[in-house]
Structure 1
Amino acid sequence: MRCLILGFVAGVLLLQNAATLPPSWLQLCCAAAALMLLLAGRCMTRPAAGIAACAGAGIMLGYAWAALLAHLALAPALSTEDEGRDLQVVGIVGSLPARFEQGIRFNLNVERTLTPQATVPPRVALSWYADRGHAAGALAEVQPGQRWQLTVRLQRPHGNANPGGFDYEAWLLEQGLRATGYVRAAGRDNRRLDDVVPGFGTAVERSRAFLRDRILHALAGRDYAGVIVALVIGDQRGIEQSDWQVFNRTGIGHLISISGLHITMIAGLVALGVSALWRRSFFTGAQLPLLLPAQKVAALAGAVAALLYVLLAGFGVPAQRTLYMLAVVALALWSGRLSAVTHVLCAALGVVVALDPWAVLWPGFWLSFGAVAMILFAGHGRLGPEPRGMRGALLLAGRTQWAVTLGLVPLTMLLFGQVSLVSPLANAVAIPLVSFVVTPLALAGSLLPEPLCGWLLVPAHAAVAALAWLLGHLAALPVAVWRAPAPQAWVFLLAAGGTLWLLMPRGWPQRWAGAVAWLPLLLQAPDHPPDGGLRVTAFDVGQGMALLVETAGHRLLYDTGPGYAPGADAGSRVLLPYLRMRGIGAIDGMVISHGDLDHTGGAAALLAELKVGWLASSLAAGHPIARAAPRHLQCAAGQHWEWDGVRFEMLHPAPASYADAGLKANARSCVLRISRGKGSGRRSVLLAGDIEAAQEAALVAGAPGRLQADVLLAPHHGSGTSSTPAFLRAVQPSVGIFQVGWRNRYRHPKKQVVERYATLGIEHLRTDLAGALTIEAGDAVAIDSYRAVHTRYWYGR
C-alpha cells in the first residue's frame, strides 16, 4: 500500500508539470493499465517485482486522477467577450473577507448571472473599493454567508510569471476561482439580498469572522494582533511583511499559523479530558466504559476536536496532514488494528493529494511531510535511549528538533535557496512559547466572554511581542541566513543522501562524513554570463519596469517594479524570490530611472534585504529611496563605466535638466545603453525608461550614433507619447520589449505603437503574455520567455 501511495503522488506530480492535459482516452488507458498492474502484482512471487508493479500502478493512477480533476477544474471559464464589461450577478459571500485601507476582498459563490447571454464561473475572487471621497469604513459591511446582487467587471485568471515566483494562476485553479475582478461601486445597483444563507460553509466562515473581530477588538492598535489571529483561525493576511521577513530569516514561519503541532496538542488535551471524564463515570452509576471503552471515546473526541480546529484554520495542507493522520490513528484504535507510523504518514499523504492534487506545487506540502518523515526516520532507534522525567523529555525534544533542522536543509535550499542558521536557537525558544503559552491563551481568550477575553489575549500578545523582539535581534545577525543557488538535481540528491547518513543510528560508521555531501549544496556560487557576455532579465512585474543586468562579474538592477498594496511590492513579491533562488545576496549597482511608483515600488524592500553598492537615479537627494541608499548619484548624460568588457553609457538626462523644477519625472528618466563586443560582433541593449517624444527627439538630435541597439526596452511601456518613428529608426532594434501589466488601465502598449514596431520589422515581446524574458547577448542575441520554457496546462493564454 505504501508503494502504491508513493507512486500515486509521483503520478500527480508528473501531471502538475505537464504543458497540456492528456485526452480522456489516455486517462482511461492509464486507469486500466493501473488496474492490470495491481492484479499482476498480486500474482508475482518476487517482492521486488510486486513493489515495482504497485509503484507503477500508483503512478498511472495518480496521473489519470489528477488529469480528471484538472479537466473538471478548468471547465468553468469566463469568455473573452465578457472580460472587462459590466456583469450583474447574484451570489453568496463564500470566504472570510480581507479588509484593507481601500476596501475589502472576498470570494463570491455565484448563484446566477442576470446579464443576458453571459456566463460567469461559479466561484470568483472580487475586490470592492471604497468610493472616492468616502472612507473604507463606509463600505457596506460584507460578511460570510450573505447573498448580494453586484455589478462586477471580471477577467480570466492571470498572474505574473517569473522564475522562483509565486504561481498565482495555479493557486486560483486550486481554490476553484476561475475569474477575478472588482465590484463596480459608483452609481451601480449593489445591494444585499439576504443577511444569512444557512449552510455548513456559512457557519464555519461566520465563526472565523466572529473570532477574528473579537481578537482585533481586544487587541486594537497592537502590533502583533495579526499573529494572534493567525494562530486562532489561520488567517495570516494581517501580518506585516516586515514581520514575515523576521520570521523567515529565523526559520519559525511554520509556527505562525495553525500548525500540526498545535492541532495535535489540542486534540491530545481534549482526548485526555474526555478519557478522564469517561472513566470516572463509574462513580455516577452510568458505567459508561462498559458500553464503550474510554480509549475509543478519547480517540473519537480528539479527532472531532482536530476537525473543528482544522476548519477554523481554513483547511491548509499542514492542518490537513495532521487531521488525516489523527483520523487514521482513531480508525486504527476503533478497529483494533494499530498501524505502523509509516502507514499512518502514507495514508495521510495519499488522502491530501487525492483531495487536492495541486498541493504538490507548494513548499508547505513538502516541508510539512518532510518534517514528519525526518522525525520518524530519526526516531526509530536513532535518537538513542533517553533518561526518564523532565530531563529525558527535554533531551528528546532537543534531538528531535536537531533531526528536523538537519533533515530539512537540502529541501529548504531546493525550495528557497537559503537556510536559517539561527533556526535551531529560534525554534528552541519559539516552539514551547508559541505552542504551550501563546496558542492556549489565544484560543481560550477568543472563546471566553468579556472580561476574560482581554485578560487572556493581552498576555498572549505580550508573549508574542517578547518573542518578536528576540527574533528581531537574531534576524539582524550577519550570519542569520546562508544563501546559495537552488541546487541541481544531482546536488540535491547527494545532499539528501548525506543527510540520511548523518541521521543513522548511533554506531553507524563515519556518520560525520554525511556532512561532506552538503558541500556542493552550500558552496555553490551564483552563475554568471561568460567573460564578455551580457545577460538581461526583464521581469514580469505587471505595469512597471524591473530588469537585472549581469556581466561576468557584476550585477545591476534597472528599476524595481511597482508597489501593489501596502506591504506588497514587486521587490518583495518578484525580485527577491528570484535573487534568492539564484543565490544572489548583493548587487553592484541600482538605477532608478525616475520617481514614478511603477519604477520605485520595490526599491525600499530591495535596499533593506540586499547589499547594494550604489544607487544612480533622477530622484531628488532628499527622496526616501535616495537617503536609504549607501551611496547616491544623480544620473547624467555622459556618465559611463565598463564591467568585464561590457560598456555602460548614460545617455539621458542632461545635467542642466535638474534645474528645471517644472519638468515631469518621465522627462528626466535615466536612459542607459549597455553594449559588449566590437565590430560586427557588437551587441547592445537600450533601456529607455519613460521618456516621451520630446526626449526621444533630443536624443536623436544629440546622440544619433550612440542610440543603435539590438534590443530596446520600449519607452514608457509603449504609450502613445513615445516610440516615435524617428527614434525607432535611429535605434534600429531587432526586438522591442514591452513591460506592461495584463489588461492595464492605460491600455499599454497602444495599438498604433505596436503597429509601428511591426511596420519597421521590429519583433515585439510583452511580459504580460510571455512572462519574464531572459536576453543572452553573446555572438548573437537569444531571448527566452518564462511561459514558453515553463509551460503549464493552466496557462490559458
Structure 2
Amino acid sequence: MNLAVISFALGVLFLQTRAVLPSGALLLLPAAALMLPALRWRGPVVRLALLLGCFLIGVAWAGWRAEWRLADELGSTWEGQDVEVVGVVSGLPQDFDRGVRFEFVIEQRLTPGAVVPSRVQLAWYHGKQAAPAVAPGQRWQFTVRLKRPHGGANPGGFDYEAWLLERGIRATGYVRPGAATKVDDFVWRPATVVQALRATVRQNFARLLPAEHYPWQGILTALAVGDQKAVDSDLWVVFNRTGTIHLMSISGLHVTLVAGLVGGLVGFGWRRVPALALRCPAQRAALAGAVLAAFAYALLAGFGVPAQRTLYMLLVAAAALGSGRVVAPSRILALALLLVLIVDPWSPLAPGFWLSFGAVAALLYIGSAVLGTGDGWRQRLRGWGVVQWAATMASLPVLMLVFQQFPLVSPLANALAVPVISFIVTPLALLAALLPWAPLMLLAHGILDALMAFLFWCAAWPVWQAPAAPPWVAVGAAAGVALCLLPRAVPGKWLGLVLMVPAVFWPAQLPPPGEAWIDVLDVGQGQAVVIRTQAHAMVYDPGPRYNADADAGQRVLVPYLRWLGVRRLDKVLVTHGDADHAGGLASLLAAVPAERLLSSMAELEGDLCAAGQGWRWDGVDFRILHPAPQAYLQTTRRNSLSCVLAVDAGGRRMLLTGDIEAVDEVAMVERDAAALRADLLLVPHHGARGSSTPAFVAAVGAGEVIYSVGYRNRFGHPRADVVDRYAATQARQWRTDRDGALRIRMAPAGMTIDATRRQAARYWHGR
C-alpha cells in the first residue's frame, strides 16, 4: 500500500514539472488496463503494473485538477480593461506604503460579456489620502483592471505564478480611482466569520502592543492568526540564518501542539465523569477534541497550506487510532500523504511540503530509538537530542537543494527556540487571542524578547552555502540521511556521510578563461544583471525597489547569487539613482560583500564611473563608454549620467546602456561610433520612446537585443516604434517579461542565449 501511494505521489510530482498538460481521460485508460490484472493475479510483474497504474492515476488526477482550475481564467481580451464587479473581501487585507492589498471573491460581473475569474487579488492605492477601510466580509462594487498571474522567472527563484495557482487566485489587479461603493458591511458566511475573527485578533494585538514600542508584536500576531506579513522583513533574515523560520509561522508543530494539548485536557476531564466515560471511551473523546482543536486553529490561522497538511495528517492518524486497529506509523504517514495530494496536488511545489513530511518520516524512522530511552531525565534529554538531530539531518537535503544554505547554528538555535515558541509563546499568544488581556500579551512579548536576543546572537554565526546541485544529489543526500540515522550498531553508517558530501560541497560552475557569462534577471520594471568570468563576479544594477519592505536585491539578486554559489562580488556598478535601477542596492550589499562600488551617484561611497575607465578579468575586457567626465558638471539628469558598459569576450561584445536618452546617444555616436559596435545590446531605457535613435541603433548594429521590462508595465515599455526600429535591422528581440531571465554565454566558439521560460516552462506560465 505504501508503495502504491508513493507511485501516486510521483505521478502528481511528474505532472507539476510539465510544460503542457496531458489529457487525464487518456491516461486513465492505460492505468485501468495496468491495474485490472491485480484483481486476479499476483506476482512481481503484476505488482509493477499496479505501481505504474498508480503513477498514471496520479498524473491524471493532478492534470484534471489543473485543467479545472486553469479554466477559471481571465479572458485575454479583458486583460487591462475596466471591468465592473461585485464581490466579497476575503482573507486578511494587508496594508502597504501606498495602499491596501486583499483577496476578492467575485460574485457578479456587471460589465456585459466580461470574462473574469472568481477569485482575484486586488490592490487599492490611496496615495496621500487615508487608507480605505477594507475589512473581511465586506461586499463592494468595484471597477477594476486585471491581468493574468505573472511573476519573475529566474533560475532557482520563487515561482509566484505557481503560488497564486495553488491558492486559486487567477488574476491580479487594482481598483480604479473613484470607482468603489460599499454594498454591505458584512456578509454572513462561515468563511467570512472566520476571517472577521482573525481580523479582530490582529487589531487587538496592534492595539494592546503598538509596534513602535513592542517590536515582536508581528511575531505574536503571526503565531496567533498566521499573518506572516505582520513580521518585519528584516526578521525573516534572522530566522533564516538560524534555521528557525519554521517556528515563526503556523507550522505543523504548532497545530500538533494545540491538538495534543486540547486532546489531553479533554481526555483528563472525560475520565473523571463516569457517565461520559461509560458512554464513550476517553481515548476517542480525546481524539475528537484534538481534531476539532486542530481544525479550529487551522481556520484561525487562515487555513494555509502547512496547516492543512498537518490537519489532514492528524485526521488520518485519529481515524486509524479511533478504529481500534493497529496501524503502522508508516501507513498513517502514507495515507496522510495521499490525502494531502488529493486535496492539494500543487503542494509538492512548496519546500514546506518536503520539510514537513521529511521531518515526520525521520522521526518515525528513529522512533524506536527515542521510545526506548527510558523515563529518567538523562534519557529524556538524550531522546530530545536524538529528535533534534533527526529533524536537522532530514532538513539538510531540502535546504541545500531549495535554498543552497544550511545554518550551522540551527541545532543550537532550535534546541532553545522550539520549546520556548511551542510550549510557552504560542500558547500564550493563542490565550491572548481568546482573552485580549494586556498582561498576557506583555508576558508573551517579554519571553519572546529574551529569545530574540539569543537568536540575534545565533544569526551572527556562519551559514554554510553551496551552489544549487542537481535533484539527484538531493536524492542521494536523503539516502545518506537514512543511513546516518540507523542505530549505532549497524555497520556501514559512514557511507551516509559519503552520500551527503555532494550536496554540501557541490562546486560552483565557472566560466572558462576568456568567456563571460552574463545573466539579465527578470526583476519586473527595472534592471539587474550579473556578470561572471572565471574568477570574478559583478552586478550591473541591483534592480528596483518594489515597496517599503521589499526590493529586487532581497527577493531576486541575493537568492540568485546564492544559487550560483557567488559569495562575494568584485564590483557593483549602479548606473544611476532611479529606484528601478538602484532600489535593491542596500539589500544586496547587506547580504553579499562587494570589493568596489562604481556609480554615477556622488552621494554613494566608491568611485564615479566615467568614459575611458576599464579593466580586464580572466581574458575578458570591460570598458566604460559613458558618461564623459565633464558630464557631471554639465547636467544633473540621472538618466543622462547612466554608466554604459561594454563587455568583450570570445570575440563578441555586449553593450549595457542603463537609461541613456536620445541626447546621450547622439553624444556617444559623435564621440566614438566604432566603440558602440556590439553583437548584443541591452536596450537603453527599457525601450522608451526617448531613446534608441536611428543613428544609435545603426551604430550598434546588434544582432540580438534585450528589453528588461515589467509585464504590462504602466509606461508601455518597450514602445512599438522602438520595437519596429530594431525589427528593421533584423535583430532578434528578447524580453524579460515574456522570456524570463536571459542567460548569455559569450565564448570563442560563439554566443548563446537561453530563456528561463523556455528552458523551464510549466503549464501554468502565462495562464
Residues 1:553 and 2:549 aligned together: no
Tell me the residue number matched to 2:633.
659
Deviation at 1:672, TM superposition (A): 0.4
Of 595, 599, 602, the match for 1:617: 599
> 1:59-104 deviations in whole A, cap 9, x for unaligned?
1111001111111101122222222222111001122111223221
Q: Is the 8 A contact 2:90 2:104 kept in 1?
A: yes
How far the C-alpha of 1:328 sits from its partner, in A, is 1.7
| SS of match in other structure, 2:149 | coil
Partners of 2:660 and 2:320 lie apart in 1 by 70
User: 1: CA distance between counterparts of 2:262 and 2:8?
Assistant: 34
Cα offset, 1:51, TM superposition: 4.2
Cα distance between partner residues in 2 of 1:297 and 1:475: 44
1:736 is displaced (CA, Å) by 0.9
Give the distance between the partners of 2:446 and 2:628, measured in 1 at CA.
55
Cα deviation code 1:286-343 (max 9, x no counterpart): x221111111111111111111111112223332222122212221233211311111
The question of whether the paired residues in 1 share the 8 Å contact of 2:401 and 2:503 is answered with: no
Listed as ranges, the matches of 1:184-223 within 5 Å are 184-185=176-177, 187-188=178-179, 190-221=180-211, 222-223=214-215
Residue 401 of structure 1 aligns with an amino acid whose one-letter code is: Q
- The 5-angstrom pairing of residues 685-724 of structure 1 reads 685-724=654-693
TM superposition shift of 1:421: 0.4
Structure 1 partner of 2:25: 28
The answer (yes or no) to whether the contact 2:401–2:469 under 8 Å persists in 1 is yes
Counterpart of 1:142 in 2: which secondary structure? coil
**Cα gap change, 1:135/1:406 in structure 2, threshold over 3 Å: closer, same or farther?**
same
CA contact 1:7–1:54 (8 Å) conserved in 2: no
SS of residue in 2 equivalent to 1:636? coil
Letter in 2 for 1:64: A
Match of residue 63 from structure 1: 59
CA distance, structure 2, for counterparts of residue 403 and residue 783 of structure 1? 43
Query: Structure 1 residues 92, 384: closer, same or farther in 2, change over 3 A?
Result: closer
The residue aligned with 1:629 is none
How far apart in 1 are the matches of 2:2 and 2:243? Answer: 31
The amino acid that maps onto 1:116 is: P
1:143-164 deviation line (CA, Å, top 9, x unaligned): 1111111111111111111111
Change (3 A) 1:390 1:135: same
Pair 1:748 & 2:732 matched: no
- In the other structure, the counterpart of 2:750 is 780
Pair 1:476-2:463 in alignment: no
Deviation at 1:119, TM superposition (A): 2.2
Q: Corresponding residue for 1:273?
A: 265
Shift of 1:279: 1.5
Deviates more, 1:115-124 or 1:641-650: 115-124
Match of 1:634 in 2: 608
RMSD of aligned C-alpha atoms? 1.5
In the alignment, what sits opposite 1:45? 42
The answer (yes or no) to whether the contact 1:246–1:472 under 8 Å persists in 2 is yes
Tell me how far 1:50 sits from its aligned partner.
Answer: 5.1
Deviation track 1:683-715 (CA, whole Å, cap 9, x = no partner) reads 010001111111111111112121111000100
Q: Find the residue that maps to 2:630 and give its secondary structure.
A: helix
What SS does structure 2 have at the residue aligned with 1:613? coil
Instruction: Give, in whole Å, the separation in 2 of the partners of 1:780 and 1:606.
Output: 32
Cα distance in 2 between the residues matched to 1:490 and 1:762: 39
Deviations, residues 361-382 of structure 1 (Å, cap 9, x unaligned): 111111111111111112234x
1:179 alignment partner in structure 2: 171
Q: 1:304 aligns with which of 289, 292, 295?
A: 292
Partner SS state of residue 740, structure 1: coil
Cα distance, 1:116 vs. partner? 1.8
Question: Are residues 51 and 415 of structure 1, via their aligned partners in 2, closer, same or farther at CA, if it must alter by over 3 Å?
Answer: farther
Q: Percent identity?
A: 48
Question: Any gaps of 5 or more consecutive residues in structure 1?
Answer: 627-631
Q: Aligned partners of 1:758 and 1:568: how far apart in 2?
A: 36
Q: Could you say which residue in structure 2 is the equivalent of 1:574? A: 556
* Distance across 2 between alignment mates of 1:177 and 1:493: 32
**Alpha carbons 2:96, 2:547 under 8 Å: kept:** no
Q: How does 1:78-227 map to 2 (within 5 A)?
A: 78-130=74-126, 132-136=127-131, 139=132, 141-185=133-177, 187-188=178-179, 190-221=180-211, 222-227=214-219
Q: Distance in 2 between matches of 1:733 and 1:645?
A: 22
Q: Which residue of 1 aligns with 2:387?
A: 400
TM-score by length of 1: 0.94
Shift of 1:429: 0.9
In the alignment, what sits opposite 1:389? 376
Q: What is the Cα deviation at residue 636 of structure 1?
A: 1.0
Distance 1:172 1:782, change over 3 A: same
Gaps of 5+ in 2: none
**1:399-435 deviations in Å (ceiling 9; x for gaps):** 1111111222122111111111000000011001101
Deviation at 1:42? 4.2
Could you tell me which residue of structure 1 aligns to residue 18 of structure 2? Answer: 18
* Residue aligning to 1:334: 322
Q: Secondary structure at the match of 2:72?
A: coil
- Tell me, yes or no, if the aligned pair for 1:418 and 1:583 is still in contact at 8 Å: no
| C-alpha distance in 2 between matches for 1:333 and 1:366 | 25
Find the residue that maps to 1:612 and give its secondary structure: coil
Report the equivalent of 2:407: 420
Partners of 1:735 and 1:278 in 2: CA distance: 75
Aligned match of 2:740 = 771
Cα deviation for residue 128 of structure 1 reads: 0.7
CA gap of 1:332–1:567, structure 2 versus 1, over 3 A, is same
- Please list the CA deviations of residues 418-459 of structure 1 after superposition, one character each: whole Å capped at 9, or x if unmatched: 11100000001100110111011111112114xxx2111112
> SS in structure 2 opposite 1:380?
helix
**Equivalent position of 2:71 in the other structure:** 75
Distance of 1:213 and 1:54 partners within structure 2: 54
Of 357-366 and 651-660, deviating more is 651-660
416, 424, 438: which is aligned to 1:429?
Answer: 416
Q: Quick check: 561-570 or 307-316, which moved more? A: 307-316
TM-score by length of 2: 0.97
Give the SS at the match of 1:782. Answer: strand
Q: Which amino acid aligns with 2:623?
A: E
For residues 745-778 of structure 1, give each alpha carbon's deviation from its aligned partner in whole angstroms, at most 9, with x where no partner exists. Answer: 1111111000000112222111101100011111
In structure 2, the CA distance between the partners of 1:458 and 1:54, relative to structure 1 (3 Å rule), is: farther
Pairing 1:318–2:306 present: yes
Aligned to 1:646: 620
